[in-house]
Chain A
Amino acid sequence: SSSDSGSEDSSLSDSELQEAFSRGALKPGLNVVLDERPKRHNDVSGLKQCLSDFKQQLAWVERLDVTLGQVVDPVSQSASNKDAVDPENDFQREMSFYRQAQAAVLEALPRLRKLQIPTRRPDDYFAEMAKSDQQMQKIRKKLKSKQEAMERSERAKQLRAMRKYGKKVQNEILQKRQKEKKNMLNAVKKYQKGLSDKLDFLDEEQTSSQGNKKGSVNQRIKKGPNAKRRYKNQKFGFGGKKKGSKWNTKESFNDVSSFRAKIAHNKGPRKGGKKALNKRPGKRARQKMKSRGR
């Protein structure tokens, strides 16, 4: 009604408008003319009429048309999901077209065979093709080059993988050898230090795990150091310079066994005449000397 009143606006005068408003035909507010959206032509009856006029009554063999949905694949999505084919998904879309063509072919070929229309070209039938031989050569070359490129990349990948694996194996072997060497040396040192009086390490048949178990049991019976000490012994071994092991432990600090008092106080026998016995006094002695000198 607002559009009607809007169209009446231009033709009616003020007094008439007032009357109409009092009657209640006008709504308050701005009345604008709404132009209707141009209707889209969809002349269904016209279309049907045209179709019936236009349709040719030809035998199927002249037209060879098949209207069929896709091949229903039990593995992939069923044909009822065809509406879910996402037109943006190129692969899915092309596969739907392919399947539609397949369905048509499967339906049409038996019919054609019944009508005795040949579908297979005999091998001795040579005729002009839609694409020239030159074009087909080009296509073949491109396909071959693509395949070769793929193969090359595959081979390179395999080579790389093999090299990596080989390197890993080599590393493992080297490490194993070093471990064996270390174990052997440790066993020898243990024997030297008198901790174990068995010469079993000469036999190579002893497995490492077995050896550890026996060794640990023996040690516990003999000495009884705790597990931490045993582990450290096993890892760092006996003797030799220990890389990164602690320098000033409590024991090493309290250990004054290497202190030779006579030599420290410059009273021991001079061995071979140590040249220029420059025994520097200690810190306190030096400070005292300094303060005394002042």
Chain B
Amino acid sequence: GKWKNKERVLIFSSRGINFRTRHLMQDLRTLMPHSKADTKMDRKDQLAVINEVCEMKNCNKCIFFEAKKKQDLYMWLSNIPQGPSAKFLVQNVHTLAELKMTGNCLRGSRPLLSFDPIFDKEPHYALLKELFIQVFSTPQYHPKSQPFVDHVFTFTVTDERIWFRNYQIIEEDASLVEIGPRFVLNLIKIFQGSFGGPTLYENPHYQSPNMHRRLLRLSVAAKLREKQQVKEVQKIKKTGSKVLIGEDPTEVVFKTPAEEKPVEIQLVKPEVKPIVKDKKKLRKIQRKKQKKLFRTEA
């Protein structure tokens, strides 16, 4: 058949990406035969330059990876030349090379795209869905493509983020194995134009990674400060002034001192009392026995 749907996607990145991002990019290029590669873009150029780069390569879609601070990865998806475009924060990247992803598919085979029903409910999600379809689906009869459909991309919305998975279709009864890669997209903004233009949508649930890190640091600092405050309060309590209770005049009522006895001085030694043995008194052992009996009887 004739290749009619002329979609070309330019996949490239800025400088300062780490190995995982690089592998992810390469994996996307492998999976999408309608993609083209380009060299790294310098940071000092504006984003608008990308439009020209794409035009030079004769591409009408673009996936641009931007790495900031060697920690955060942002992804731009854009339709050149008139837009729209969307910026995402990429998290939880796992590449094709991970040994836990055991599936495999033909290189360049056409994917099936599966979307969550949530994508039809909101207008911004509907726009994103259209963007994903146009970017990720391989055109029919593309010269580099294989005619089989043996894997499926899933886009799911969970926890205000878009989760991407890639599964291989093994059997006709829909038993699947994951091929990879996998990543999570956190939408930041949708622009009307390509890499610019008025903002159509801003994600209220998005928190920039800087803000996230800052909040963590603040929480730790706040905890420490609270501990110190508690310590200070305790110190004050300890060394606090003791409250003086005033004298109660009615207390004297209860004081009853004993009568004073005249002092007697003994001048004569007292008489020695004779020790009289009480014959009726039992000896010690017998006394103990009696006690025992008494106790057991009781």
Number of interface residues of B (CB under 8 A): 67
Q: Which A62-107 residues sit within 8 Å CB-CB of chain B?
A: 62-69, 71, 85, 87, 93, 96-98, 100-106
Q: How far is the CA of A42 from the CA of B204 in the complex (A)?
A: 10
Cβ contacts B107-147/A at 8 Å (1 or 0 each): 11011111111011001101101110110010110000011
Q: Which B35-61 residues sit within 8 Å CB-CB of chain A?
A: none
Taking a contact as CB atoms closer than 8 A, the residue among A87, A109, A112, A127 that contacts B159 in the complex is: A87
Q: Does B192 contact A (CB under 8 A)?
A: yes
Cβ contacts B160-187/A at 8 Å (1 or 0 each): 0001010101001010100100000000
Identify the stretch in B96-104, B210-218, B222-230, B253-261 within 8 Å (CB) of chain A at 4 or more residues: B96-104
Q: Does A223 contact B (CB under 8 A)?
A: no
Give every chain B residue within 8 A of A131 (Cβ-Cβ). Answer: 96, 104, 179
Q: Does A129 contact B (CB under 8 A)?
A: yes
Please tell me if the beta carbons of A66 and B192 are within 8 angstroms of each other in the complex: no
Q: Does B18 contact A (CB under 8 A)?
A: no
Give every chain A residue within 8 A of B139 (Cβ-Cβ). Answer: 62
For chain A, give the interface size range: 35 or more
Give every chain A residue within 8 A of B169 (Cβ-Cβ). Answer: 105, 109, 119
Please tell me if the beta carbons of B123 and A51 are within 8 angstroms of each other in the complex: yes
Taking a contact as CB atoms closer than 8 A, the residue among B101, B126, B189 that contacts A51 in the complex is: B126
Give every chain A residue within 8 A of B198 (Cβ-Cβ). Answer: 43, 46
Please tell me if the beta carbons of A64 and B112 are within 8 angstroms of each other in the complex: yes
Give every chain A residue within 8 A of B83 (Cβ-Cβ). Answer: 50, 54
A47 to chain B: closest residue by CB:
B123
Please tell me if the beta carbons of A65 and B149 are within 8 angstroms of each other in the complex: no
- Of A62, A119, A143, most buried by chain B (CB within 10 Å of CB) is A62
Please tell me if the beta carbons of B158 and A105 are within 8 angstroms of each other in the complex: no
Please tell me if the beta carbons of A128 and B102 are within 8 angstroms of each other in the complex: no
Please tell me if the beta carbons of A130 and B154 are within 8 angstroms of each other in the complex: no
Q: How far is the CA of A86 from the CA of B59 in the complex (A)?
A: 40
Please tell me if the beta carbons of B114 and A100 are within 8 angstroms of each other in the complex: yes
B13 to chain A, nearest CB (A): 20
Q: How far is the CA of A71 from the CA of B105 in the complex (A)?
A: 23
Q: Does A121 contact B (CB under 8 A)?
A: yes
Please tell me if the beta carbons of A50 and B84 are within 8 angstroms of each other in the complex: yes
A92 to chain B, nearest CB (A): 10
Q: How far is the CA of A41 from the CA of B107 in the complex (A)?
A: 40
Q: Does A159 contact B (CB under 8 A)?
A: no
Q: Does A58 contact B (CB under 8 A)?
A: yes
Q: Does A271 contact B (CB under 8 A)?
A: no
Q: Which A117-151 residues sit within 8 Å CB-CB of chain B?
A: 117-121, 127-131, 135-136, 138-139, 142-143
Give every chain A residue within 8 A of B163 (Cβ-Cβ). Answer: 93, 97
Please tell me if the beta carbons of A66 and B115 are within 8 angstroms of each other in the complex: yes
B140 to chain A: closest residue by CB:
A62
- Of A50, A53, A93, most buried by chain B (CB within 10 Å of CB) is A50
A42 to chain B: closest residue by CB:
B201
Taking a contact as CB atoms closer than 8 A, the residue among B105, B146, B204 that contacts A40 in the complex is: B204
Give every chain B residue within 8 A of A117 (Cβ-Cβ). Answer: 147, 149
Please tell me if the beta carbons of B123 and A44 are within 8 angstroms of each other in the complex: yes
Please tell me if the beta carbons of A106 and B104 are within 8 angstroms of each other in the complex: no
Q: Does B73 contact A (CB under 8 A)?
A: no
A98 to chain B: closest residue by CB:
B176
Give every chain A residue within 8 A of B117 (Cβ-Cβ). Answer: 67-69
Given that A41-B201, A131-B104 are contacting pairs, would A54 and B79 also be in contact in the complex, using a CB cutoff of 8 Å? yes
Please tell me if the beta carbons of B112 and A96 are within 8 angstroms of each other in the complex: no
Q: Does B290 contact A (CB under 8 A)?
A: no
Q: Does A48 contact B (CB under 8 A)?
A: yes
A97 to chain B, nearest CB (A): 5
Give every chain B residue within 8 A of A67 (Cβ-Cβ). Answer: 114-117, 119-120, 129
Q: Can you report 9 residue pairs joining A to B where beta carbons are below 8 Å apart?
A: A46-B198, A47-B200, A58-B5, A68-B115, A98-B167, A100-B114, A118-B149, A121-B106, A130-B104
The 10 closest A-B pairs by CB, nearest first: A104-B114, A87-B159, A47-B123, A65-B113, A105-B174, A67-B115, A41-B202, A128-B107, A102-B174, A41-B199
